Amino acid sequence: MLSSEIRQSFLDHFRSKGHEIVPSASLMPTSPNLLFTNAGMNQFVPYFLEEEKAPFNRAADTQKCIRAGGKHNDLEDVGFDTYHHTFFEMLGNWSFGDYFKEEAIEYAWELLTAVWGFPKERLYATVYQPGPRDPASFDEEASAIWSRIFEKAGLDPKKHVLTGNKKDNFWMMGDTGPCGPCSEVHIDLTPEGDTNGDLVNQDSPWCIEIWNLVFIQFNANPDGSFVDLPARHVDTGMGFERVAGILATTKNFTDFSQPPSNYNSDLFTDLFSHLESQCDARYTYTMPEGDEKLTKEEIKDCVFRVIADHIRTLSFSIADGILPGNEGRNYVLRRILRRAVMFGKRLNLPNGFFANLAPVLIEKMSEAFPELKKQEVVIRKVLESEESAFEKTIDRGLQLFEKQCEDEVISGEEAFTLYDTYGFPLDLTEILARERGIKVDTEGFEREMEKQRAKGRAAQVKETISVKTPSNIDPTHFRGYHADQLQGTEATVTAV
Ligand code: ATP
Ligand code: MG
Ligand code: MG
Ligand code: MG
Tell me, in angstroms, the distance from the centre of ligand 1 to residue 455's CA: 42
Tell me, in angstroms, the distance from the centre of ligand 2 to residue 474's CA: 40
Identify the pLDDT of residue 290: 66
Is there an atom of ligand 1 within 6 Å of 64 CB?
Answer: no
Tell me, in angstroms, the distance from the centre of ligand 3 to residue 123's CA: 15
Does residue 224 share a domain with residue 133? yes
Q: Which of 50-54, 171-175, 211-215, 475-479 has the lowest mean pLDDT?
A: 475-479
Tell me, in angstroms, the distance from the centre of ligand 3 to residue 200's CA: 9
Spatial distance between the Cα atoms of 158 and 167, rounded to a whole number of angstroms: 22
* Chain centroid offset of residue 299 CA: 20
Identify the pLDDT of residue 462: 60
Does residue 164 share a domain with residue 244? yes
Q: Is the pLDDT of residue 428 over 50?
A: yes
Q: Which of 24-33, 76-85, 453-462 has the lowest mean pLDDT?
A: 453-462
Q: Is the pLDDT of residue 492 over 70?
A: no
Residue 257 lies in a domain: no
How many angstroms separate the Cα of 187 from the Cα of each of 2, 93, 168, 301, 414? 20, 20, 16, 24, 46
* Domain boundary pick from 216, 249, 282: 249
Give the global pTM: 0.90
pLDDT in tens, 300-344: 999 999 999 999 999 999 999 999 999 999 999 999 999 999 999
Does residue 126 share a domain with residue 181? yes
Does residue 300 share a domain with residue 161? no
Identify the pLDDT of residue 135: 87
Among 212, 305, 492, which residue has the most ligand 1 atoms within 8 Å of its CB, making it the best to mutate? Answer: 212
| 348-375: average pLDDT | 98
Residue 30 lies in a domain: yes
Does residue 33 share a domain with residue 79? yes
pLDDT in tens, 136-157: 999 999 999 999 999 999 999 9
* Domain boundary pick from 193, 225, 249: 249
Cβ distance 21 to 33 under 8 Å?
A: no
The ipTM estimated for the assembled molecules is: 0.99
Identify the pLDDT of residue 285: 80
Assign residue 36 the CATH number of its domain: 3.30.930.10
Residue nearest to atom 31 of ligand 1 (CA): 239
Q: Tell me which range, 21-25, 78-82, 492-496, is most confidently predicted by mean pLDDT.
A: 21-25
Name the closest ligand to CA 36: 1
CB atoms within 10 A of CB 154: 8
Is there an atom of ligand 1 within 6 Å of 211 CB?
Answer: yes
| 244-248: average pLDDT | 98
Atom index in ligand 1 nearest the CA of residue 211 equals 18
Among 66, 84, 310, which residue has the most ligand 1 atoms within 8 Å of its CB, making it the best to mutate? Answer: 84
Q: Which of 214-223, 265-274, 433-442 has the lowest mean pLDDT?
A: 433-442
Is there an atom of ligand 1 within 6 Å of 48 CB?
Answer: no
Residue 51 lies in a domain: yes
* Domain boundary pick from 220, 249, 278: 249
Contacts of 121 (CB under 8 A, 6+ apart): 153, 155, 193
Tell me, in angstroms, the distance from the centre of ligand 1 to residue 239's CA: 6
Q: Is the pLDDT of residue 394 over 70?
A: yes
Residue 473 lies in a domain: no
Does residue 272 share a domain with residue 170? no
Does residue 277 share a domain with residue 138? no
Atom index in ligand 1 nearest the CA of residue 168 equals 6
pLDDT in tens, 437-473: 899 999 999 999 999 999 888 887 665 444 443 333 3
Is there an atom of ligand 1 within 6 Å of 65 CB?
Answer: no
- Exposed e or buried b per residue across 360-399, where buried means at least 16 C-beta atoms within 10 angstroms of its C-beta: bbbebbeebbebbeebbeebbebbeebbebbeebbeebee
Name the closest ligand to CA 66: 1
Is there an atom of ligand 1 within 6 Å of 90 CB?
Answer: yes
Q: Is the pLDDT of residue 128 over 70?
A: yes
Cβ distance 246 to 240 under 8 Å?
A: no
Give the residue numbers spanning the domain of 354: 265-453+479-494
Residue 256 lies in a domain: no
Does residue 425 share a domain with residue 370? yes
Is there an atom of ligand 1 within 6 Å of 170 CB?
Answer: no
Does residue 334 share a domain with residue 424? yes
Q: Is the pLDDT of residue 485 over 50?
A: no
Residue nearest to atom 3 of ligand 1 (CA): 209
pLDDT mean across residues, the chain: 91
Residue 132 lies in a domain: yes
Number of domains in the chain: 2
Tell me, in angstroms, the distance from the centre of ligand 3 to residue 290's CA: 19
Among 242, 263, 265, 316, which residue has the most ligand 1 atoms within 8 Å of its CB, making it the best to mutate? Answer: 242
Among 83, 204, 209, 241, which residue has the most ligand 1 atoms within 8 Å of its CB, making it the best to mutate? Answer: 209
Tell me, in angstroms, the distance from the centre of ligand 2 to residue 331's CA: 22
Residue 471 lies in a domain: no
Is there an atom of ligand 1 within 6 Å of 174 CB?
Answer: no
pLDDT in tens, 432-447: 998 888 999 999 999 9
Does residue 327 share a domain with residue 182? no
Identify the pLDDT of residue 71: 87
Percent of the chain scoring above 90 in pLDDT? 84
pLDDT in tens, 160-198: 999 999 999 999 988 999 999 999 999 999 999 999 999
Which of 189, 194, 197, 131 is closest to 161 using CA atoms?
197
Residue 459 lies in a domain: no
Is there an atom of ligand 1 within 6 Å of 85 CB?
Answer: yes
Q: Which of 72-86, 282-296, 379-393, 419-433 has the lowest mean pLDDT?
A: 282-296
Does residue 418 share a domain with residue 388? yes
Tell me, in angstroms, the distance from the centre of ligand 3 to residue 164's CA: 10
Cβ distance 309 to 302 under 8 Å?
A: no
Does residue 224 share a domain with residue 272? no
Identify the pLDDT of residue 456: 85
